[in-house]
Amino acid sequence: MDLRVGAVDCGTNSIRLLIADVDNGVLRDVDREMRIVRLGQGVDATGEFAPEAIARTQAALSEYGELLKTAEVSRIRMVATSATRDARNRDDFFAMTADILGAVVPGAVAEVITGNEEAELSFRGAVGELDSAGAPFVVVDLGGGSTEVVLGDSRGVQAGFSADIGCVRLTERCLHSDPPTAAELAAAREVVRERLAEALRVVPVENARTWVGVAGTFTTIAALAQNMTRYDPAAIHLSRIGFDELLPVCAQLIAMTRKQRAALGPMHEGRVDVIGGGAVVVEELAFALGARAGIDALTVSEHDILDGIALSLADPAQ
C-alpha cells in the first residue's frame, strides 16, 4: 500500500514542498511547490534571521500546511539547511514551524541537518533515475548558503562535503554592483576556489564519470542553454549540457544586469539578483572537474534533496 508523505526543504533562498506517494522506494508526485523566501537574508553578515525573512517563510509554510492537510499525508519531514545552521535566533524559526506542521501531523517539527546529511539526501534524490553505467557520479547541490559535493554510485555515498558557499552568500559577500565589477568578480572567484579546494580535498572527484547538478541555479542554466522561452521541468530533467554550451551561458549571466536577467523567459524573479553568484560557482566547478576528472558535460536533475527527504520517510527508522 502506498504511503503518502510530505517533504519540505527550507534552504537559504527557497522553501519547497513535495507531496508524494511512496511505493517500494519509488516516488509518485502528487504536488510540487516552490517559493522564494530568502530566509538567509543577511545571515552571513549578522548571524541572525531577519524578522521579515521569518515572516516570508511563515507565510509560505502556512500555504504548504493547508496543502498537506488537504492531501491527508501520513508523515511529514521538514529539513532546514545552511542558513538555519548559522542563525543564532533559530529557536524563533523552530517555534513557528512547530505550530504550523504540528497542526497537520501532531508532533511534526522542522529539523536542522548537518552538511553531511544534506549531501546524502541530495545524492539519494538525484541519482535514482540515472543509468548506473554513468557511475561514479559526482552530485553537486548548489544552494543559497552552501554547496554540497558528493561522490557515489547506486550503492550509496562514498564521500561528501558541504562547502560554506552558495549563490546568496556569495552575492551578499562579494557581488554588490549591478553588473558586478571585475574586482568583485575576482574576489568572488577567490572565495569560491578556496571553498571548493576544501571540498576537493575530501571528495575524490577524479574518480567520477558523470557530473550531476541539482537545484535552481543548475536548472535555470539548463533552461537557458536550451533556449527555452519559459521554464519546462520535463525538458530540463536529465538533460545533458556540454561545457561548450554551459560556460557561455554562465559568462552571460555573470555579465548581465539584473534587469537583463529578469527579462529571460525561464528566470524566476527570486533568482534574478543571485544567479550571477551561482554561475560563478558553476564555472569554477566546471574548470575543476574538467581538469581533475576529464568531465566535459553537465547532467541536470530536477530531483534532489526534496526527493531524498520524501524517500527517507518510507525508511523503517522514520
Cα–Cα distance, 127 to 218 (Å, whole number): 15
Whether a cis peptide bond, with omega within 30° of 0, leads into 266 is: no
pLDDT at position 132, please? Answer: 86
CA angle 10, 127, 117 (to 5 degrees): 40
Cell 511534526 belongs to which residue?
A: 108
Question: Which homologous superfamily does the CATH classification assign to the domain defined by 130-301?
Answer: Exopolyphosphatase. Domain 2 (3.30.420.150)
State the virtual CA torsion across 28, 220, 112, 136 in degrees, nearest 10.
70
Which amino acid, residue 268?
Answer: H
Share of the chain above pLDDT 70, in %: 98
- Buried b / exposed e across 49-78, counting CB within 10 Å, b at 16+? bbeebbebbbebbeebbebbeebebebbbb
177-197 tens-digit pLDDT: 999 999 999 999 999 999 999
Domains 3-115 and 130-301 in one fold: yes
Instruction: Kindly provide the residue ranges of all beta strands, DSSP E only, lying in 81-232, ordered along the sequence.
Output: 110-112, 137-142, 147-153, 156-163, 210-214
231-270 tens-digit pLDDT: 999 999 999 999 999 999 999 999 999 999 999 999 999 8
Q: Which band of pLDDT confidence, cut at 50, 70 and 90, is reported for residue 317?
A: low
CATH class of 3-115: alpha beta
pTM of the model: 0.87
Domain boundaries, the chain: 3-115, 130-301
- At 176 the three-state DSSP class reads coil
Residue 77 contacts by C-beta under 8 Å, 6 or more apart in sequence? 5, 6, 7, 8, 111, 309, 310, 312, 313, 318
Q: Which residue has the higher pLDDT, 91 or 254?
A: 254
- Residue among 99, 154, 152, 162 nearest 131 (CA): 154
Cβ neighbours of 26 (radius 10 Å): 12
pLDDT at position 316, please? Answer: 58
Asked whether 140 and 211 are in contact (CB, 8 A), the reply is yes
- At 78 the three-state DSSP class reads strand
CA distances from 243 to 221, 239, 253, 264 (A): 12, 13, 15, 21
Segment (H or E) for 290? helix 275-293
Cα–Cα distance, 110 to 102 (Å, whole number): 10
- At 317 the three-state DSSP class reads coil
- With 60 as the cut, is the pLDDT of residue 318 above it? no
97-146 tens-digit pLDDT: 999 999 999 888 888 888 788 888 989 999 888 888 899 999 999 988 88
Cα–Cα distance, 53 to 285 (Å, whole number): 30
Distance of CA 276 to the CA centre of its chain: 15
pLDDT at position 234, please? Answer: 93
Cα–Cα distance, 299 to 252 (Å, whole number): 20
